[in-house]
Amino acid sequence: MKENPDAANQAAHETSGKTARASDREPIAVWDSGLGGLTVLLALRARLPNEDFVYFADTRHFPYGDKPEDFLRARGRAVAAALWARGAKALVVACNTATAAAVSDIRKETQKPVIALEPALKPAVAASKTGVVGVLATPRTLESQRFSRLVADCAKNATVIACPCPGLAEVIEREGAQSAAAGVLLDRYLAPLNAAGADAVALGCTHYPWARKEIAARTPAGTIIVDSGEAVARQTEARLLRESHLGGRGRLIFAASDDAERFARAVTRLLAFSCPAEVWPV
């Protein structure tokens, strides 16, 4: 992505030949604790280039992967309430950990679309030839009832090797996926998947797609690596079409719960265009 999307997308969007309502032009909010959800944002913008998006990073509480479930549930309700108050027409929870802990509570408190994220286990199982599938995710995601239900529903005839990856999201965010520290962790976490013969790996944290090349280099040739970004984008489009809420001007706003300047520098580095950010004290 090389150009500023605000300059590239100027025309207002119309659905089925009808002029978009003012409420349709409200933004879609995308929420994560840090930079990982940008991988979901890229998939959303590729599918819905004329929509307005607000990306909120809860940097004050990054990372989520080691936080207690009660904290994450309360934090999820607070963040969602703040984004609704700022005019979001839909919320994409671009974090597997936050989804597992908080999305049920968030949905109880709104009628607006809330699109959840989960590890891409179903497509990984479908793509596997050996029937052995690996899942890389935070400990909190893998310990959740939501993940247990996902395995029961999607992997009845597959062997799932669930690998908790403490510290990996933090290292990717702060030092980069190509750093020596990330390499040490990836070697450690991928070893049991390789030993078990996994030929498909589901990325269960939105930070991990930034390390896709590094993961591929550490797994056998032909290993299929899947994440949830495109599936979430399709689901978001379907929900907004069903409720006739498509419409916008391609605008993009970044916000963080603290240290917006540092966050903006990191986003600019990853997306390769200037991305100023605001502080929203949620």
What are 140-191's pLDDT values in tens digits? 999 999 999 999 999 988 999 999 999 999 999 999 999 999 999 999 999 9
Q: Looking at the structure, do residues 19 and 36 belong to the same domain, yes or no?
A: yes
Report the 10 Å Cβ neighbour count for 81: 14
Among 211, 227, 243, the domain-final residue is 227
30 contacts 92 by C-beta, under 8 angstroms: yes
Q: Looking at the structure, do residues 163 and 176 belong to the same domain, yes or no?
A: yes
Q: Show which residues are catalytic.
A: 95, 205
Instruction: Please give the distance of CA 134 from its chain centroid, rounded to a whole number.
Output: 19
Q: Looking at the structure, do residues 18 and 76 belong to the same domain, yes or no?
A: yes
User: At 6, is the pLDDT very low, low, confident or very high (cuts 50, 70, 90)?
Assistant: very low
Q: Looking at the structure, do residues 170 and 274 belong to the same domain, yes or no?
A: no
Q: Measuring CA to CA, which residue among 232, 62, 63, 67 is closest to residue 143?
A: 67
Residue 234: C-alpha distances to residues 14, 134, 186, 219, 224 (Å):
18, 24, 29, 28, 21
Mean predicted lDDT score pLDDT of the chain: 90
40 contacts 94 by C-beta, under 8 angstroms: yes
CA dist 169 and 171 (Å) reads: 6
CA dist 130 and 219 (Å) reads: 14
Report the pLDDT value the prediction gives residue 12, as an integer from 0 to 100.
Answer: 33
Q: Looking at the structure, do residues 235 and 100 belong to the same domain, yes or no?
A: yes
Domain CATH code at residue 72: 3.40.50.1860
pLDDT at 51 over 50: yes
Q: Looking at the structure, do residues 39 and 133 belong to the same domain, yes or no?
A: no
CB-neighbour burial class of residue 179 (10 A; exposed 0-12, middle 13-18, buried 19+): middle
CA dist 138 and 122 (Å) reads: 18
The count of structural domains within the chain is 2
Which residues, in sequence order, are CB contacts of 189 under 8 Å at separation 6+? 136, 163, 165, 168
CB-neighbour burial class of residue 132 (10 A; exposed 0-12, middle 13-18, buried 19+): middle
Q: Structure pTM?
A: 0.86
Which residues, in sequence order, are CB contacts of 187 under 8 Å at separation 6+? 218
Q: Looking at the structure, do residues 34 and 103 belong to the same domain, yes or no?
A: yes
Q: Looking at the structure, do residues 99 and 157 belong to the same domain, yes or no?
A: no
Domain that holds residue 179: 121-227
Report the pLDDT value the prediction gives residue 218, as an integer from 0 to 100.
Answer: 98
pLDDT at 243 over 90: no
User: At 23, is the pLDDT very low, low, confident or very high (cuts 50, 70, 90)?
Assistant: low
Q: Looking at the structure, do residues 64 and 144 belong to the same domain, yes or no?
A: no
Q: Looking at the structure, do residues 52 and 80 belong to the same domain, yes or no?
A: yes
pLDDT at 15 over 60: no
Q: What is the dihedral of CA 170, 175, 181, 184, to 10 degrees?
A: 70
CA dist 235 and 233 (Å) reads: 5
Q: Looking at the structure, do residues 218 and 239 belong to the same domain, yes or no?
A: no
User: At 263, is the pLDDT very low, low, confident or very high (cuts 50, 70, 90)?
Assistant: very high
User: At 9, is the pLDDT very low, low, confident or very high (cuts 50, 70, 90)?
Assistant: very low
Which residues, in sequence order, are CB contacts of 205 under 8 Å at separation 6+? 36, 65, 95, 96, 97, 136, 137, 138, 141, 165, 168, 169
Q: Looking at the structure, do residues 107 and 128 belong to the same domain, yes or no?
A: no
